[in-house]
Structure 1
Amino acid sequence: MKKRFLNPIALIFLWTASSVFFVSCEEPVEQPIPKGDDGQVFAIDTDDSEIPYLVIDSRGAGIPYEPGVSAQLKIYIEKKLIQEQPIDIEFRGKTSFRLSDKKGFNFESIDASGEGVDVSFFGLPEEEDWRLIGHVVNIQEKFIWDHSLIYNFVGYEISNSIGKYASRGKFVEMEVNGEYLGLYYFCEKLKRSSERIDIKSLNSSSTNLSGGYILKIDKSDAGPEHDGKPISYFLNNWSDDAAYTFQNSFRSEFDVFGNPLQFPAFGDPFHPQQYLETYFTYEYPKAEDITPAQKEYIAAFVERFESALLEDDFNLGERTYTEFIDIGSFVDYFILSELTRNVDAYRISTYLEKDRDGKLAMGPIWDMNIGFDEGGRIPMNDWVVNYNEYAPTDPWQVPFWWSRLMEDPEFKSAVKNRWTSLRLTFLSTGQLNTLVDTTVNYLQQNGAVSRNYAKWDKGIGVNYDQSIVDLKRFLGERTSWMDREIAKF
């Protein structure tokens, strides 16, 4: 019998056909849908991550800039629902809100009737006002501020470690209305509270006008007259940042060089002389609550401090300005702002507080998203207090306070003593590196970094590992430079 051989092409055909038949007989593989233990479907699978996962649902309503809209917040850890809370949520930020595709949020915990209610999250003290801070991502222009994702957390942890309160919080991942938004810092709003900024209350019936007050040197806030305006308004109206009015602020009597101002306050936003002005906005009591008498008191107190600072002759040992300010808080604010090279410090996002019968104190620190090794403006080998020399056209300049304080040998001596002590403990190179490494390991081991950048690295080209190398190198170089400079004080 003649053997018959199939040619190779026929063999390939038969193998392919049988393979197709075999595969078609298999059961289809069902892809598991990530869910919480209550059946909540997640926008992304976080596997067994220990990082809390937030699900926020505004029930079909669009989230506004202000005022907020009611929503439901669910918090999961390892897919187990640990807390559920009605909230009122809105977008937050000024420049970051306009520039970033990854938006930040303010929210208030509320009860069933919509009234604010104090609630504890993650073991933090009960309160009703909270923040969800994300890093700035601009996909169109292909830039990110803070590739490391940890600037704010690290800055605030350093502050708390040295005994200066800063906003406490927790890293979380979150989705809003079914869209995964990545990694955020869930933290406290800076406000008057026995567990936050611990100063005495002050209301319209208070007879002691001396405190407490919380002021900000900052861009102005959009007032209630803007409530309900569309998102497009807040995305494009930069003039609101400089819309200072008698209702929301008072102005220093002196320009940023320490000279008396000779032109009226509350000019048009971004008028040619705005860079000379320093405005103090009312954080507590709020602009809508502070009384005329309270406004007059706190403005006069600041003016007395500024006049004393300018008039004191340090060569003769005159230091009457210390009667008005808590020197220790100014020293710590200087150290924290300079260590982190926070170019927003001193001139915007800058908090001050004054307790009843107390002195004016600096802090808490806030907003580190363009600090550390993020870009330029201030070189490695200079002080942030010298910002005005590097950005003279910026509408928001550093007040004269800091250049004047740097002329006082006793202030510099206090900085030297505090810095020397902290470098042996909380601000040692080893402690700073451990803080960075511990934080990064937590985020990476739980997969949050890769999930965040799968969402947000759209052609930007983030090298996360390199960002951590750069951050640690910055901290080493910055502290070494400060060691050398402060040794000369």
Structure 2
Amino acid sequence: MATLPRCLLLPLPLPLAVAVAVAWLLGVSRVAATVNQTCFELPVVILSPVSEPFPTKTCVTPAPPAIDCMKRNVDVNIEVIDHNDAARAHNFTWNCIEGPRTGVHRSTAHFRGQSSLRFKKNQLSVHLKAPAALVDGFPADRAYVLHGPWIDGSLIRNHLAHWLFRATGRYSPRSRHVVMFIRDPDGQLQYHGVYLLLEKITYDSVDRVGLAPLTPACQTDEQLSGGWAWQLNPLNFGVYSPNMVNDQYEVMFGAGERPVLMFPRPNALTPRMRDFFVNTTTGPMPRLFRYLFEGMKRPDELEQHIDLGSFVDYMLHSELSQNTDAYRRSTYFFKDRGQPINAGPVWDFNLAFGLGANKADWLFRPYSMWRRLTCNYKFVALIAKRWRELRASVWSDTALEQFIEQSAAPLRRQFARCVGTKRKGWASNALQCANVKPKVLFNEQIEKVRQAVTQRAHWMDANVAKLYMKIDPAPWNPATDLPQYNCAADGNDAGCLEDPERYINAAEIVMPPIRQPTPQNTTCGVVDAKTLDERDTPSIDPCWLSAGTYITDGSITPFCSGNGFCPPGPGAKCTCIRGKQPPTCGSLNIDVNDMDEGDGDVEEMTLQSDVAMQRWGSATYLALLTGGVLLLLLLVAGQRARNRRRRHHQSMLAEHDELRRAHPTTYGATD
């Protein structure tokens, strides 16, 4: 009789333990059917470089400014073996390396990420030459990501996060676990472990976000109002970043940071489009920030700037997942034509669901824009109302636990077949194993995720109606034109502090309908290219094209090819230095058709190497270091003082003993 593997032995609730045991035994019975180690229940993805191999960690990056050599694009053929439907039916067919392929696709691929670029398990971005559905359950498209969980030993954190956001009715990348091989230069297949195949966030398809296209024919403010998409992330080499005006509004609610443009593509933008986006009277971000600064006593105008429902869903999702990077990194927004700004889709959850922030408090509090939104009565009411709606259905404890177990089951069956190394076991890079960093038992990893999400949900159940408050204007100086309370349109109404339910369930608190993707044939019309002037001709703006930031060479400027400066706002031109010539002040060695997409990759918790964390981390480090030194000095001084007192006390005792011996009859006598 088969013995349950050690990796499955740990305390579990009885029903779950029984389910695990049954699933494993069923899996063992199938394994016994002469199936070898190169057959898998999960889909198999094989990347075969066509002419040159993927770069290695020993590659040499050119002198900055330059893209990291590890991100070099490689032509590949992608072979897929996927004989099972996306539901992963119980009676599946094995996907064997020697078996027939269900798809072969010509593609380019490159390693992606920031700190993860040099993890032992690489992340990859792939772009197919022709649209295709790589695996069952995905609509045909070109852009995908092969996410290799490394610090996430459960391998399901990103999978769970995207399912949660899709459950709200909004778009989030579809995902499926696969096993991945890369063919080496000798033609041998090298096993890289379990990956999560994801749709890449794109905007030109109704199967993904789907935004109205901007073309040179778009001339009016209404036409230029969408579609746009951007994210908050570090300004790496090759990203395209609008030169926003750093006025008091942007500094307070945008933290003075430039966004990374995600749509349209850089080489599709005209000067007219760029000027519209950064102009403080027309740009969606400047207009929102100005309203948050000046307009909070006109609460019903907020809906002119943001889609309340999408911001509510994004905030609830960020809080439930306890995503360490929420609100500051890999934070996406988009604006379709004639519509307000939407928050989302969501991305990057390696440091979430118990692997990062675990504080019993709201994660949004340090972020001024999101904290400001809670001064709005509709936003606060919808937070509570929408949360309860989701918890009563798609985000219930039962739904959460069922999805987690369904996601873990095929992984558990595979790892039962893993013959790993003695040191890492199921987590090693041997066939059928996970290839992850954590070594603790797989079921412990899954249980940690389950506990993290359900415990956080219970905390939110108890606290989601407690965001009503008397608003303190002090932290908002100089943007202090605020209502007294966030109960109702009348900012002087304090009733929600005693009866929040009446305000949450008020008739005017209605969740807006969920936006639907815009077809790509929604155009501004046709324009004769011969009639276009310079302002309507697509071009690459050196004031937007990032040269990156480099600790090793601080003389390189972030824009103007690293050799100049641009003023903020519309119509900016480079002022060159080092004898370089305008308009570009040099050139960057980059293909604008394959510019860096602003990879939203998290750091390992001990690294803290992105720009915002460096600013916060360096200040905190210096404060802690200074405090530590002072504490050490105080401890040393205190110890020295105690030693002096001890020596003095001992000296006094010795003197008293000497006096007692010299005057035994009189020493110590009283009147």
Q: Aligned residue for 1:289?
A: 268
Match of 2:243 among 218, 240, 250: 250
Match of 2:175 among 160, 169, 176: 169
* Distance across 2 between alignment mates of 1:255 and 1:453: 50
* Distance across 1 between alignment mates of 2:386 and 2:412: 34
Provide closer, same or farther for how the CA distance between residues 313 and 248 of structure 1 changes in structure 2, counting only shifts above 3 A: closer
Query: What letter is aligned with 1:210?
Result: S
Provide closer, same or farther for how the CA distance between residues 286 and 476 of structure 1 changes in structure 2, counting only shifts above 3 A: same
Query: What letter is aligned with 2:107?
Result: I
Q: Aligned residue for 1:228?
A: none
Query: What letter is aligned with 2:305?
Result: F
Q: Aligned residue for 1:187?
A: 198
* Distance across 1 between alignment mates of 2:103 and 2:435: 31
Does 1:211 find its partner at 2:238? no
Q: Aligned residue for 1:371?
A: 352
Provide closer, same or farther for how the CA distance between residues 200 and 67 of structure 1 changes in structure 2, counting only shifts above 3 A: farther
* Distance across 2 between alignment mates of 1:220 and 1:170: 30
Q: CA deviation at 1:459?
A: 8.4
Match of 2:288 among 284, 294, 305: 305
Residue-by-residue CA offset, 1:212-258 (whole Å, 9 max, x unaligned): 111111122421xxxxxxxxxxxxxxxxxxxx8xx533336457996
Match of 1:424 among 392, 395, 418: 392
Q: Which stretch shifts more, 318-327 or 421-430?
A: 318-327
Does 1:278 find its partner at 2:257? yes
Provide closer, same or farther for how the CA distance between residues 369 and 407 of structure 1 changes in structure 2, counting only shifts above 3 A: same
Q: Aligned residue for 1:350?
A: 331
Q: Which stretch shifts more, 163-172 or 213-222?
A: 213-222
Provide closer, same or farther for how the CA distance between residues 460 and 67 of structure 1 changes in structure 2, counting only shifts above 3 A: closer
Q: Is the 8 A contact 2:144 2:200 kept in 1?
A: yes
* Distance across 1 between alignment mates of 2:288 and 2:336: 15
Q: Is the 8 A contact 2:296 2:375 kept in 1?
A: no
Q: Which stretch shifts more, 279-288 or 418-427?
A: 279-288
* Distance across 2 between alignment mates of 1:134 and 1:87: 19
Provide closer, same or farther for how the CA distance between residues 212 and 360 of structure 1 changes in structure 2, counting only shifts above 3 A: same
Q: CA deviation at 1:380?
A: 2.9
Q: Aligned residue for 1:473?
A: 451
Give the secondary-structure state (helix, strand or coil) at the position aligned to 2:224. coil
Residue-by-residue CA offset, 1:155-205 (whole Å, 9 max, x unaligned): 001111110110002210011122110011111110111110121111334
Query: What letter is aligned with 1:212?
Result: G
Q: Is the 8 A contact 1:51 1:171 kept in 2?
A: yes
Alignment of 1:53-132 (within 5 A): 53-59=44-50, 61-64=52-55, 65-77=70-82, 78-79=95-96, 80=99, 81-98=101-118, 100-110=119-129, 117-123=130-136, 124-132=138-146
Q: Which stretch shifts more, 331-340 or 299-308?
A: 299-308
* Distance across 1 between alignment mates of 2:354 and 2:76: 37
Q: CA deviation at 1:260?
A: 8.7
Q: Which has the larger radius of gyration?
A: 2
Q: CA deviation at 1:319?
A: 3.7
* Distance across 1 between alignment mates of 2:237 and 2:370: 28
Residue-by-residue CA offset, 1:64-115 (whole Å, 9 max, x unaligned): 44441111111124223211111111111122214x21001111112xxxxx
Q: Is the 8 A contact 1:92 1:106 kept in 2?
A: yes
Give the secondary-structure state (helix, strand or coil) at the position aligned to 2:124. strand
Q: Is the 8 A contact 1:255 1:278 kept in 2?
A: no
Q: Aligned residue for 1:269?
A: none
Provide closer, same or farther for how the CA distance between residues 430 and 334 of structure 1 changes in structure 2, counting only shifts above 3 A: same
Equivalent residues, number: 380
Residue-by-residue CA offset, 1:427-479 (whole Å, 9 max, x unaligned): 11111011101100122123489476221668853221111111111112100
Provide closer, same or farther for how the CA distance between residues 470 and 347 of structure 1 changes in structure 2, counting only shifts above 3 A: same
* Distance across 2 between alignment mates of 1:362 and 1:56: 34
* Distance across 2 between alignment mates of 1:213 and 1:302: 11
* Distance across 2 between alignment mates of 1:459 and 1:433: 25
TM-score (norm 1): 0.73
Q: CA deviation at 1:481?
A: 0.8
Q: Is the 8 A contact 1:71 1:88 kept in 2?
A: yes
Give the secondary-structure state (helix, strand or coil) at the position aligned to 2:231. strand
Q: CA deviation at 1:321?
A: 2.7
Q: Aligned residue for 1:446?
A: 414
Q: Is the 8 A contact 1:103 1:134 kept in 2?
A: yes
Give the secondary-structure state (helix, strand or coil) at the position aligned to 1:190. coil
TM-score (norm 2): 0.54
Q: Aligned residue for 2:463?
A: 485
* Distance across 2 between alignment mates of 1:474 and 1:446: 24
Does 1:341 find its partner at 2:322? yes
Match of 1:328 among 309, 313, 318: 309
Q: Aligned residue for 1:141?
A: none
Does 1:408 find its partner at 2:376? yes
Q: Aligned residue for 2:594?
A: none
Query: What letter is aligned with 1:185?
Result: L
Q: Which runs of 5+ in 2 are unaligned?
A: 1-34, 56-69, 83-94, 184-188, 421-425, 468-671
Give the secondary-structure state (helix, strand or coil) at the position aligned to 2:214. coil
Residue-by-residue CA offset, 1:14-42 (whole Å, 9 max, x unaligned): xxxxxxxxxxxxxxxxxxxxxxxxxxxxx
Q: Which runs of 5+ in 1 are unaligned?
A: 1-43, 111-116, 137-144, 224-243, 262-275, 389-397
Residue-by-residue CA offset, 1:348-382 (whole Å, 9 max, x unaligned): 1111111111111100001111111003xx33311
Query: What letter is aligned with 2:54?
Result: I
Q: Aligned residue for 1:28?
A: none
Q: Aligned residue for 1:51?
A: 42
Q: Aligned residue for 1:222?
A: 237
Provide closer, same or farther for how the CA distance between residues 135 and 307 of structure 1 changes in structure 2, counting only shifts above 3 A: same
Q: Is the 8 A contact 1:256 1:277 kept in 2?
A: no
Residue-by-residue CA offset, 1:303-355 (whole Å, 9 max, x unaligned): 111111121234xx534232111111000000111110111121111111111
Alignment of 1:375-394 (within 5 A): 375=356, 378-386=357-365, 388=366
The alignment's C-alpha RMSD in Å is 2.5
Give the secondary-structure state (helix, strand or coil) at the position aligned to 2:299. coil
Residue-by-residue CA offset, 1:128-163 (whole Å, 9 max, x unaligned): 111100113xxxxxxxx2110001100001111110
* Distance across 2 between alignment mates of 1:47 and 1:335: 42
* Distance across 2 between alignment mates of 1:277 and 1:310: 14
Q: CA deviation at 1:46?
A: 4.0
